[in-house]
Amino acid sequence: MNKQRPTHSTLNTFPTRNGELLIGDTPLTRLANRVGQTPFYAYDRQKITERVKHLRKHLPEEIHLHYAIKANPMPAVVQHLSTLVDGFDLASGGEMQVALDTPMPAGHISFAGPGKSESEIRRAIATGVTLNLESETELDTAASQGEQLGIKPRVAVRVNPDFELKSSGMKMGGGPKPFGIDAEHVPAVLTRIGELGCDFQGFHIFSGSQNLHPEAICEAQTKTFELAYRLAENAPSPVHKLNIGGGFGIPYFPGEQALDITLIGGHLNELLQKKSRQLPESKVIVELGRYLVGEAGVYVCRIVDRKISRGQVYLVANGGLHQHLAASGNFGQVIRKNYPVLIGNKMDETEQETVSVVGPSCTPLDLMADKMALAKAGIGDLVVVLQSGAYGLSASPSAFLSHPAAVEVLV
């Protein structure tokens, strides 16, 4: 075979020095000493800053960039992003608390997600956060809580669109969905919002996540604007906010290409021209989670054992599934594929070995690398999982097996 196969190594964007990966310009073993323990997650603040700059450069200036906190709710990360983006999107009352500790004004924060509790709704109203309504029940709760508080609730309607974002890692719209209010039912809800005297803000139309196909994203955006124009005809007051979702993906696996956002930027420019006539009072929001932070983060754990079982080499690490469910392949993957893994203190090692990296949980699911060619490594070396800045620690079952907690640092 002389055709070169794509490998994970093309996904590494961190520099190396003296055989060590540099995170935030700090050699990995030094960073491990600074943190004081393994496993840990490290997020590179410069990479997050650069990512936002990249978006600002290629997306139209008038796009409002929001960060979806659920991708990575570490307070220091959210604080850092509060200085870079125009708003936050929340999915829980806990995230609201993190967001409100930053300088981000409540008027630039919205709260989506099904199953909001009465207490969460009440807190959002008292704060001035916009509630992206997922159902009529939520509208009724918002109206009654608003009445009790003597505050007009700010509400937007999360729409379950009548189309889907094609080739998405996770579809969040189209067909029957637990998210949003079906587009065909939205006119009735808009009327009710007017009757209840809520402060109508606009629409939230999020159709999918983890998409690497610019044409698919552009197509969904076209449909999103068209749907918003149709729905706006029944709005009780002008649309101030049109949140068109995001869905920008990052590459995880060999052969996946980084998303080309220049195409999306150009297309959005065209869409905004029509928008300025159709919905002149509305700002347009793009909400991103993974794309802003995913590539800025690494998960680092230490090899504590090395075994050979019937010819197969196993590197046993002190971290795994309980702290990085996604890398184990158990967070929404249909067919398990290896995340980009490397030996972060052996970047210059030329001798390779095909190994499986497993964690300390007593289940075959605790697998971080399945028969992967890695630099030859042994006890004490550091396993690094790249692309771990989003849906890492907070999306993992940390309590499983009662191992010590991982630490998170922003460097």
Ligand X SMILES: *Cc1c(COP(=O)(O)O)cnc(C)c1O
Q: Which residues bind ligand X (CB under 6 A)?
A: 68, 70-71, 89, 91, 112, 206, 209-210, 246, 287-291, 390
> What's the closest the beta carbon of residue 403 comes to ligand X, in angstroms?
26
Rank residues 39 and 289 by Cβ distance to ligand X and give the closer one: 289
Rank residues 91 and 327 by Cβ distance to ligand X and give the closer one: 91
Rank residues 104 and 347 by Cβ distance to ligand X and give the closer one: 104
Rank residues 252 and 367 by Cβ distance to ligand X and give the closer one: 252
> What's the closest the beta carbon of residue 189 comes to ligand X, in angstroms?
18
Integer CA distances (angstroms), 156 to 117, 188, 286, in order = 17, 14, 15
> What's the closest the beta carbon of residue 390 comes to ligand X, in angstroms?
6
Integer CA distances (angstroms), 19 to 22, 103, 141, 295, in order = 9, 40, 58, 21
Q: Which residues contact 408 (CB under 8 A, 6 or more apart)?
A: 40, 41, 42, 43, 74, 76, 393
Q: Which residue is nearest to ligand X (CB)?
A: 289
Dihedral sign for Cα 277, 280, 286, 287, please.
negative
> What's the closest the beta carbon of residue 292 comes to ligand X, in angstroms?
8
Integer CA distances (angstroms), 332 to 41, 209, 257, 370, 395, in order = 21, 12, 20, 17, 11
> What's the closest the beta carbon of residue 26 comes to ligand X, in angstroms?
27
Pairing of strands 297-309, 382-385: antiparallel
Question: CB of 395 within 8 A of CB of 326?
Answer: yes
Question: CB of 24 within 8 A of CB of 15?
Answer: no
> What's the closest the beta carbon of residue 256 comes to ligand X, in angstroms?
15
Rank residues 139 and 286 by Cβ distance to ligand X and give the closer one: 286
Q: Which two tokens stand for residue 36?
A: 């004081």
Distance CA 121, CA 215 (A): 37
Question: CB of 308 within 8 A of CB of 314?
Answer: yes
Rank residues 170 and 405 by Cβ distance to ligand X and give the closer one: 170
Neighbouring C-beta atoms of residue 35, cutoff 10 Å: 18
> What's the closest the beta carbon of residue 206 comes to ligand X, in angstroms?
4
Rank residues 131 and 357 by Cβ distance to ligand X and give the closer one: 131
Distance CA 11, CA 196 (A): 51
Rank residues 35 and 250 by Cβ distance to ligand X and give the closer one: 250
Q: Which two tokens stand for residue 23?
A: 């995170």
> What's the closest the beta carbon of residue 129 comes to ligand X, in angstroms?
14
